[in-house]
Structure 1
Amino acid sequence: MELSAGTEGIALVKMEQGLDTATCRQLVLGLEEADAAEARAIVLTGTGDTFSPGADLARIVEGGARRIEEFLSELSDALLAVFGFPRPVVAAVNGHATGFGLVLAAACDHRVAADGEGRLGVPELHRGVPFPLAALEILRCAYGTTPLPALAYGGAALTVAEALARGLVDEVAPAEELRSRAVELATRLAGLPAEAFAHTKAQLRRPYHERIAENRVSDDARVERLWCAEKTLEVIKSSVDRS
């Protein structure tokens, strides 16, 4: 995870690998550092041709049930840290954004994707693993309830053009202009009165935060059991072996 100060108080938070317990903690720490530095807004992006490939399943399943339980808890905390950040967060989707990687993009206030070969989708269900409640509520907030079944059940890897048509990203920019466009958007949002922006953002997202707070403990316990089931682990390992 890399945090760097940008122009006009815009912080760049760069993800460098798939999500596991350590990278989730690093993401939370990066946001806390940006907050402490009083960054006016954040641009969240990845490296190379990948915004985020989602969960690093190979590393996670190596640790068995205990590692899975720890990861799912840290993952929800990381997703909620992005989702609840009081100042603007713009996703510069520089390439593939799959599974929890797409959820991270959904947690942001605006999503601009690079025109290229990137693929976006949520294939988790096809790997035998359900989303924690926080992830589904973030997707619901960003995209609405109606599109979620097709997105989750289908598990398709959509092109950037298809993702734009289905509203998974807000706009597309040439790859070489992606970061500058994301910074431009972040700067524009940061120009809004900060306290009013934070309150409005909290108002818009309050129903989702409330559902998560009310149901997370019981729902996540069921998700953990499903992830840790022997049959599920076999599906995950088979998926990892094929990738």
Structure 2
Amino acid sequence: MVDTLQVSFEEDGFATIQMMNGENRFQLSIIDEWNRALDKVLENKNTKGLLIKGMGRFFSNGIDLNWLGEQEGDSRRKFMDGLHRMLVRVLVFPVPTAALINGHAFGAGAFLALACDFRLMRPDRGWLCWPETAIGMRFGDNLLKVAKSKIPPGIAQKEALVYAKRLTGPEAKRLQFADVLTEEAKMPAEARVLISGALGRNGISRELLQNTKTDMYGTELHHIISKL
């Protein structure tokens, strides 16, 4: 099986998970690969920050809907449960996370970016979009809980979730989805600055960081967190 993710570690304590499968869409086997990649990051005790990025035109175009349409009953449920657990795992990950949104991030790809602590986008290319309303789908309870854990009520929820607006980098920055706008080549360095600044001079233990994230974001997601 060809790996669709590449995990790398740098001497400065930062790990990178790079998606490298075209549009980087999610299937059940790819969810399994994500969990193995996250395990590998945690096994490296020197890792103090995780960068997640795509390649080329895409960060991630979300669920592979053609694949999902071919699945039946238990397979569909198993996939969606796995996707929810993976997103929540990133949401409460015990080291700081940054999404380097090099290109389009749609649907589950946008949820993956949202689950990270920081998001960096290009000012000139790439949309951040939750297209469910536009394509006649509903989010489902678990995905809405993930969304509401990060997206405040008001204009941000209206534009991003209700009306499925395709947000450019500047629009995402206006709505406080994007922390930094910069060219792709500068994203890793900018992400390191964000994470290092968040950790501060004395750092934050993995256990405390995960517990605090769980306290902040996990009130309505405890049924998933308890199974991680």
Alignment TM-score, normalising by the size of structure 1: 0.80
Which range is displaced more, 17-26 or 141-150?
Answer: 141-150
Find the counterpart in structure 1 of residue 92 from structure 2: 84
Correspondence list, 1:41-120, <5 A = 41-120=49-128
Aligned partners of 1:76 and 1:132 also within 8 Å: no
Pairing partner for 2:183 from 158, 174, 177 = 174
1:52-104 superposed Cα distances (whole Å, 9 cap, x missing partner) = 11111111112233332121011001101111111111111111111111111
Correspondence list, 1:159-198, <5 A = 159-191=168-200, 192-195=202-205, 198=207
Q: SS state of the match for residue 122, structure 2?
A: strand
Distance 2:209 2:101 in 1: 25
Distance 1:154 1:180 in 2: 34
Aligned partners of 2:94 and 2:209 also within 8 Å: no
Find the counterpart in structure 1 of residue 35 from structure 2: 28
Find the counterpart in structure 2 of residue 130 from structure 1: 138
Question: What displacement does 1:149 show?
Answer: 3.7
Aligned AA (2:32): R
Q: SS state of the match for residue 194, structure 1?
A: coil
Distance 1:187 1:134 in 2: 31
Question: What displacement does 1:180 show?
Answer: 2.3
Over the matched positions of the two proteins, sequence identity in percent amounts to: 23
Distance 2:29 2:124 in 1: 29
Aligned partners of 1:48 and 1:94 also within 8 Å: yes
Q: SS state of the match for residue 182, structure 2?
A: strand
Find the counterpart in structure 2 of residue 150 from structure 1: 159
> Number of residues paired by the alignment?
215
Runs of 4+ residues over 6 Å off in structure 1: none
Q: SS state of the match for residue 115, structure 1?
A: coil
Aligned partners of 1:43 and 1:186 also within 8 Å: no
Distance 2:39 2:141 in 1: 23
Question: What displacement does 1:132 show?
Answer: 3.9
Distance 1:27 1:82 in 2: 10
Which range is displaced more, 132-141 or 53-62?
Answer: 132-141
Aligned AA (1:53): N
Alignment TM-score, normalising by the size of structure 2: 0.85
Distance 1:47 1:27 in 2: 16
Matched, 1:141 2:149: yes
Q: SS state of the match for residue 210, structure 1?
A: coil
Find the counterpart in structure 2 of residue 11 from structure 1: 15
Q: SS state of the match for residue 82, structure 1?
A: helix
1:96-149 superposed Cα distances (whole Å, 9 cap, x missing partner) = 111111111111111111232201110113323322433222222222133324
Distance 2:74 2:184 in 1: 40
Sort the Cα spacing of 1:164 and 1:45 in 2 relative to 1 into closer, same or farther, 3 A: same
Aligned partners of 2:85 and 2:224 also within 8 Å: no
Aligned partners of 2:93 and 2:210 also within 8 Å: no
Distance 2:140 2:152 in 1: 17
Q: Which runs of 5+ in 1 are unaligned?
A: 217-243
